């Protein structure tokens, strides 16, 4: 039996601690405003994926190298590193795996033939940094992946539908960024809970016979995929509007 300390266990242990620190600092930095959401997300990913994977693998290696060691401290560090690594990597899989069923797109609408347009950047300056046109290549993907998302017919006159849509947006916690009652359309943002990513929404109401039709579009500002967040947001709006 050897009493020699395990360098692998030592490194694995501190990698695990560093990974936890990166995850915590990433989320804390976002919520305190010290870090932009994307920077905080990258820090979170670095800690959970890289730090977690290295801690887990080196922790296993440490368990192997200390299997006959009398150095209980190294053995404990190896176990701790393996556990920390498992938890850190598990965070990523817990968040990402449920989203694998969704296509890698980030702009969803209820009207694929005539998607609602966002207000001009002159009215919402945040749009100036993005291409707010609807990606044509998303149309067949949305049609196949989200067949339930379609134009809403609330059975209300256009003016009443507009008022109900505004109220639904407020009830869902959206922040209205542009209102155009004359055209019966408005834009809003919704901020994700953990990483505080800002997503943009536009809602359009048009006359339809004696009633109206309501269409909306929800898009993520960053990332190619959205893990289904925009479709979920649209469905929540449909349910909220139905209560009016």
What are the boundaries of each domain within the chain?
A: 7-101, 107-242
- Determine the pLDDT at residue 65: 87
The Cα 210–Cα 160 span in angstroms is 12
Beta carbons within 8 Å of 239's beta carbon, 6+ residues apart = none
Instruction: Give mean pLDDT, residues 25-32.
Output: 95
pLDDT bucket at 67, cuts 50 / 70 / 90: confident
The Cα 198–Cα 138 span in angstroms is 20
The Cα 81–Cα 75 span in angstroms is 10
Confidence (pTM): 0.85
Whether 98 shows a pLDDT value over 60: the answer reads no
* Angle at which helices 72-96 and 52-65 cross, to 10°: 150
Q: Per-residue pLDDT tens for 104-131?
A: 999 999 999 999 999 999 999 999 999 9
Residues 108/43, Cβ–Cβ less than 8 Å: no
Q: Name the DSSP letter for residue 135.
A: P
The CATH code that applies to domain 107-242 is 3.30.530.50
Instruction: Give mean pLDDT, residues 25-49.
Output: 93
Whether 16 shows a pLDDT value over 60: the answer reads yes
Question: Among 41-45, 71-75, 91-95, 111-115, whose mean pLDDT is lowest?
Answer: 91-95
Residues β-bridged to residue 147: none
Return the percentage of the chain with pLDDT > 70, whole number.
94
Residues 152/238, Cβ–Cβ less than 8 Å: yes
List the one residue out of 133, 110, 127, 75 whose CA is nearest residue 217: 110
- Determine the pLDDT at residue 159: 95
The Cα 58–Cα 230 span in angstroms is 39
């Amino acid at each position: 039996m050897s009493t020699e300390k395990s360098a692998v266990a030592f490194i694995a242990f501190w990698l695990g601690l560093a990974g936890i620190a990166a995850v915590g600092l990433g989320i804390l930095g976002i919520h305190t405003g010290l870090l932009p959401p994307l920077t905080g997300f990258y820090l979170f990913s670095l800690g959970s994926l890289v730090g977690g994977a290295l801690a887990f693998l080196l922790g296993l290696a440490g368990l192997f190298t200390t299997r006959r060691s009398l150095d209980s401290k190294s053995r404990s560090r190896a176990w701790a590193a393996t556990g920390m690594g498992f938890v850190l990597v598990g965070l990523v899989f817990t968040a990402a795996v449920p989203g694998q069923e969704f296509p890698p797109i980030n702009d969803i609408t209820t009207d694929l033939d005539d998607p609602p347009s966002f207000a001009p950047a002159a009215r919402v300056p945040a749009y100036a940094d993005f291409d707010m046109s609807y990606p044509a290549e998303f149309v067949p993907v949305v049609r196949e992946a989200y067949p339930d998302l379609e134009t809403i017919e609330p059975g209300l006159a256009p003016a009443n539908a507009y008022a109900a849509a505004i109220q639904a947006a407020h009830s869902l916690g959206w922040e209205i960024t542009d209102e155009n009652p004359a055209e019966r359309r408005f834009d809003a943002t919704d901020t994700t809970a953990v990483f505080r990513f800002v997503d943009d929404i536009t809602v359009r109401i048009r006359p339809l016979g004696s009633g109206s039709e309501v269409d909306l579009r929800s898009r993520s500002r960053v990332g190619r995929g959205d893990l289904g967040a925009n479709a979920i947001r649209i469905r929540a709006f449909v349910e909220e509007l139905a209560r009016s």
